[in-house]
A and B are shown apart, each in its own frame.
Chain A
Amino acid sequence: MTPTAPAGAPAAAQGPAGGDAPSAREVAGRRWRSSRAIVAVLLALAVIAVILAALRPSVSPDALDPESPGRDGSRALAEILKRNGADLSVARSTRDALRASTPRTVLVVTRTERLTTDDIDRLRATPGELVLVVPGPDVLEALAPGVEPAGVSFTRTAAPGCGLQAATLAGTVDFGRSDTYTATDPLAACYRTDIGHRLVQVRHHGRTVTVLGSARPFTNEHLEREGDAALAMNLAGAEPSVVWLIPDPPEPGAERQKSLGDLLPFGVKLFVLELLVAVLLVALWRARRLGPVVAEALPVVVRSAETVEGRARLYRASRARDRAADALRAGARERIVPLLGLPRSSAQDFGAAREIVAAVAQRTTFEDAQVGAVLYGPEPADDAALIALTDVLDDLERQVRQS
C-alpha cells in the first residue's frame, strides 16, 4: 500500500484478499445461475397454460343454433325433427320459450351460459319436459337440484348401460369430451364413466329433467356418428312439440352485476388463498435475518479544505472583488519579491511598493504605471476585470521568473 492510497477508504478493502472486480460475463453468469430456477418455473407455468387453453373446445357464436348449417350448428337435427312431424319452434328468449311451451312440449335448453339469473328464474315455471344441454352450474342448481357435476370425461364413446328407452334405442353414442354428473335419486343414469354419468334424468316439480353432458349429439358435424342422431331425436322428440331455446346473448347490463367472487369457482378461491399462504411463508423466510445488523460508529468525514472553499463561496456570494483582488495581489507579491532579491517582509509592506514596482518594471515588458496598477491598483470594476487581473498577475510573475 502506498502512502497516497486512502487508508480509510472502502477502496482499501480491496487489499490482497479483495481481488479484482468480477467481469460482466461473470456477473451475468452468476445472475443466470441464481435466477434459472425461477425462469424454469415461469416457463413451465406458461407451457401448462398453453396446453390447458388448447385442450378447451372452442365455441362459435351460432353453435347449437337450429338455423345454422355450420359444423357445430344444429340445422340438420331441426330439419329431421320437422320431417318426422314434430312441431319445432325456435325461441330466442326465455319469454318466447315460455309462451310456446305447453305441458306437452319438450323444452331443449342450449347455451345456458347466455342465461341471466332472471331467465333461469323464469324457466322454473316451464310446464313441460326439460332437456338441458351442457348446463352451467347455476342452471343445474336451479332446474335440476340433486344433480351435481362430477368432472370431465375424455372417453369418446360409451354404451348406454341403463334402462332409459331413448338411450337404449340409440345404442353407443360418440360424446367426445363430456361433462359427467352424479344424482342422488335419478330416474335414469346412462353412459357411465369412472366418475359419473354423461346423461342423467331426474324428476323435479312433477316434470322430467334430462341433463346431457355433451352437445355433440346435437351438432351437424357429429350427427351421423354412432347413435348420436338417434339419441338427440329421442330426447328432443319425446313429445309432439319441441321448443328449442337458444338465448341471444344478454344485453350488457341486463343482468344484475355479479362480483368476481360469484364467477370464480370455489377451487380457484382456495388456490388464491393457498398462494397467499405461500407468499406469506416466502416472506417469513426472507424476513428472518441470519444474525443482527451490526451498528458501528463511523469516523467524521470533514474535508480539510472545506473552510477555504466556504470562504471562496462567501466571496462570490457577496461579490467581494476588493478582498479577492487583495488576496491575489498579496499572493503574487509574495512569490515575486524573493525573485527580485528583496527581503520577504517587503512583500506586504506598502512603503516598499515603489521599489518593488520599479524592479518588476525593469525585468518585464510592462511600464511602471502598469505594474503599479496590477500589483497595488484599485478594486476591479467588474467580474471581467477581476478575471483579467489574474491573467495579468500570472503574466507578470512568469516574466519575472524568466528574466
Chain B
Amino acid sequence: MALTGRLGLLALLGAAVPLLLPGWGALFAVWGVLLLGVVADLALAGNVRALRLHRHGDTSVRLGETARVTLTVENLGRRRLKGRLRDVWPPSAGATPRTVRVDVPAGERRRIEMTLTPTRRGDRRAVTVVVRSTGPLGLAARQLSRSAPWTVRALPAFPSRRHLPAKLARLRELTGAHVALIRGQGTEFDSLREYVVGDDVRSIDWRATARRADVVVRTWRPERDRRIYLVLDTGRTSAGRVGDIPRLDCSMDAALLLGALASRAGDRVDLLAYDRRVRTRVEGASRTDLLPAMVHAMAPLEPELIECDAAGMVSTLMARVRQRCLVVLLTELNTAAIEEGLLPLLPQLTSRHLVMVAAVSDPRVGEMAAGRGDLASVYDAAAAERARADRRRITAELRGHGVEVVDAPPDEIAPALADAYLALKAAGRL
C-alpha cells in the first residue's frame, strides 16, 4: 500500500474546514471522507498480482555501449491498471528510465523500453519490478514487487581493437605475401617455385632442380599452429588503478588484442585467469570462437585483494600444457611479488616454455619523477626514481632468466605486446 500526494493535499485543504465550522464533528467528517477515499482506491486499484511480465532484448553489451531490454507488461486482471512502474537494476547497470508511468487496460499489454549503459564490466541482474497501482481517485495505491529475471553481461570494451588492422598488415608481411623469405629458425617449408634473380642461392632445392630443367628454390613461411597461453594475474597487484582503469582491465585489453592477432596468425590461443585458484579458463576454442569466448570469460572477472600464488599458477600451467608454448604472463612488476613469487619458479617454467611478462606501468610515476621546484615535488621525484630503479632491476633479472619483458603505459601496452609477439614470430622463436 502507498499513499499519494493528492491525499496530503486534500488533508491540507481540509484544514480550512474547522476554521469555518469549529467543532470535532467537521474534523471527523473530513477524516471520514479521506478514509473512505483511501479504502475505495485500495479496493478499486488494478491488481498487480494479475500482471504477467516478460522480457526480451540484449543479453550482452560491450562496456560503454547501450543495451536495450524490453519489458512487456500484460494485464490479466479485470480492472485497468494505472500507476507507476520501476524496473530495478543495480546502479552500475545504468538503467534508464528510472520510473515509468503505465496505463494498461484489462486484457491488454504494454511494452516498456529500458536502455542499459553499464559503467563496469560484469553481469548485471535485474533485481525486481515494482508496480504502484493507483486507484481511480488517486488517493492511495497498491504497491508490489514482481520478479522478472534478466541478465545483461557487460563485456570488456576492447578499445585496442583499432590497432588490429595495422598489426594484421605486419603479420601478412611476415607470412610472405609481400617479401621473399629466407630460410630461418622457426620457419617451415611452404612450397617450391622457380628461381628468380635475387633469391638466396642457399634456398635452391637441388633435388627438385635435378628432376626438372629449371632451377627451383624452396620458400619458407613462419611456423603455424604454435600454442600461446595467456595468463591473467587477478591478484592484488591487478586491482591498482592506472589513471582511472584497474590494471586488470588494461591487461585484458592487451590479452584480447594478442589473442585476436595470434588466432589470425594460425596459432592456438588459450587463456587462464589465476590468483590463488583458477578464476576462468578458455581452452581449445576454434579460431572464430576464440574472441567471443575470451570476452565472455573475462567479463565477470574482478581483481581479488589477495597475493597471487605463483607456485600454484606455475604448477597449473605445467600440468595443462605439455608441449612447448609461449606463456604470456600479464601481471605487475612488483618487487616483492616477483622476487618472492615468480623468480624462484622461472627456471622450471622457462625450461619447457618461452615466457613473456607484460606489465602496465603507471604514467603518474613518470610525472612524479619530473617534479621539480619545491621540497615535496623533489621528494616525490626521488621516490619515483627509486620505484623506477626497482622496476629496472626486476626487468633485468627477468631478462637474465631469458624472459621477454614488455613494460608500457596503459594506452601502449596492447600494441607493444602485439609487437613483441610479432617480433618473436618473425624471429621464428615461437
Q: Determine the interface band of chain B, counting residues with CB < 8 A from chain A.
A: 35 or more
CB neighbours (8 Å) of A306 from chain B are 240
Q: Determine the interface band of chain A, counting residues with CB < 8 A from chain B.
A: 35 or more
Is the beta-carbon distance between B5 and A271 smaller than 8 angstroms? no
Is the beta-carbon distance between A323 and B128 smaller than 8 angstroms? no
Cα A168 to Cα B302 with chains together (Å): 100
Interface residue ranges, B against A (CB under 8 Å): 2-5, 7-8, 11-12, 14-24, 26-27, 30-31, 63-66, 84, 86, 88-92, 94, 96, 99, 115, 117, 119-121, 127-128, 130, 132, 143, 145, 157, 159-160, 239-247, 249, 253, 302-303, 305, 362, 364-365, 368-369, 372-376, 378-389, 392, 410-411, 414
Q: A304 and B242 in contact (CB under 8 A), knowing A1-B64, A277-B11, A294-B89?
A: yes
Tell me how many residue pairs across A and B have CB atoms closer than 8 Å: 231
Which single member of B22, B86, B127, B382 contacts A312 (CB below 8 Å)?
A: B382
Q: What secondary structure prevails in chain A residues at the interface with B? A: helix
Instruction: Give the top 4 A-B pairs by smallest Cβ distance, nearest first.
Output: A6-B244, A267-B22, A270-B18, A291-B130
Cα A267 to Cα B305 with chains together (Å): 67
Which single member of A4, A18, A323 contacts B411 (CB below 8 Å)?
A: A4
Interface residue ranges, A against B (CB under 8 Å): 1-10, 12-13, 15-18, 265-268, 270-271, 273-275, 277-279, 281-282, 284-285, 288, 290-292, 294, 296, 299-309, 311-313, 315-316, 323-325, 327-328, 330-331, 334, 383, 386-387, 390-391, 394
Which single member of B64, B84, B303, B411 contacts A12 (CB below 8 Å)?
A: B64
Is the beta-carbon distance between B247 and A304 smaller than 8 angstroms? yes
Minimum Cβ distance to chain B for residue A374 (Å): 15
Most buried by A among B30, B91, B127, B382: B382
CB neighbours (8 Å) of A303 from chain B are 240-241, 364
Instruction: Kindly report which residue of chain B lies nearest to residue A297, judged by CB atoms.
Output: B302
Instruction: Kindly report which residue of chain A lies nearest to residue B132, judged by CB atoms.
Output: A290
Q: A308 and B365 in contact (CB under 8 A), knowing A15-B117, A324-B379?
A: yes
Which single member of B99, B127, B240, B382 contacts A290 (CB below 8 Å)?
A: B99
Which single member of B16, B96, B130, B159 contacts A17 (CB below 8 Å)?
A: B96
Cα A388 to Cα B251 with chains together (Å): 40
Is the beta-carbon distance between B381 and A274 smaller than 8 angstroms? no
Instruction: Kindly report which residue of chain A lies nearest to residue B63, judged by CB atoms.
Output: A7
Is the beta-carbon distance between B5 and A282 smaller than 8 angstroms? yes
Q: A291 and B378 in contact (CB under 8 A), knowing A4-B243, A300-B239, A328-B385?
A: no
Q: A304 and B387 in contact (CB under 8 A), knowing A271-B15, A271-B18, A290-B143?
A: no
Q: A13 and B117 in contact (CB under 8 A), knowing A271-B18, A290-B132?
A: yes
Cα A345 to Cα B234 with chains together (Å): 34
Q: A391 and B368 in contact (CB under 8 A), knowing A9-B119, A270-B18?
A: no
Is the beta-carbon distance between A281 and B3 smaller than 8 angstroms? yes
Is the beta-carbon distance between B88 and A292 smaller than 8 angstroms? yes
Is the beta-carbon distance between A9 and B5 smaller than 8 angstroms? no
Is the beta-carbon distance between B121 and A7 smaller than 8 angstroms? yes
Which single member of B16, B120, B253 contacts A3 (CB below 8 Å)?
A: B253
CB neighbours (8 Å) of B245 from chain A are 6-8
Is the beta-carbon distance between B383 and A302 smaller than 8 angstroms? no
Cα A387 to Cα B381 with chains together (Å): 11
Cα A123 to Cα B299 with chains together (Å): 93
CB neighbours (8 Å) of B30 from chain A are 274
Is the beta-carbon distance between B382 and A315 smaller than 8 angstroms? yes
Instruction: Kindly report which residue of chain A lies nearest to residue B392, judged by CB atoms.
Output: A334
Is the beta-carbon distance between B240 and A302 smaller than 8 angstroms? yes
Q: A270 and B7 in contact (CB under 8 A), knowing A8-B246, A300-B305, A324-B379?
A: no
Cα A279 to Cα B15 with chains together (Å): 11
Q: A12 and B386 in contact (CB under 8 A), knowing A281-B3, A299-B302?
A: no
Extra contacts, 6 of them, besides A291-B130, A303-B241, A304-B247 (Cβ < 8 A), are A3-B410, A7-B120, A271-B15, A311-B386, A328-B385, A394-B372
Is the beta-carbon distance between A390 and B14 smaller than 8 angstroms? no
Is the beta-carbon distance between B389 and A304 smaller than 8 angstroms? no
Is the beta-carbon distance between B11 and A274 smaller than 8 angstroms? yes
Is the beta-carbon distance between A311 and B383 smaller than 8 angstroms? yes
CB neighbours (8 Å) of B130 from chain A are 290-292
CB neighbours (8 Å) of A2 from chain B are 159
Q: A17 and B14 in contact (CB under 8 A), knowing A270-B27, A325-B382?
A: no
Minimum Cβ distance to chain B for residue A311 (Å): 4
CB neighbours (8 Å) of A316 from chain B are 375-376, 379
Is the beta-carbon distance between A324 and B389 smaller than 8 angstroms? no
Is the beta-carbon distance between B127 and A281 smaller than 8 angstroms? no
Cα A290 to Cα B247 with chains together (Å): 38
Minimum Cβ distance to chain A for residue B311 (Å): 24
CB neighbours (8 Å) of A8 from chain B are 119-121, 244-246, 249
Minimum Cβ distance to chain B for residue A284 (Å): 5
Instruction: Kindly report which residue of chain A lies nearest to residue B62, judged by CB atoms.
Output: A1
Instruction: Kindly report which residue of chain B lies nearest to residue A389, judged by CB atoms.
Output: B378
Is the beta-carbon distance between B86 and A291 smaller than 8 angstroms? yes
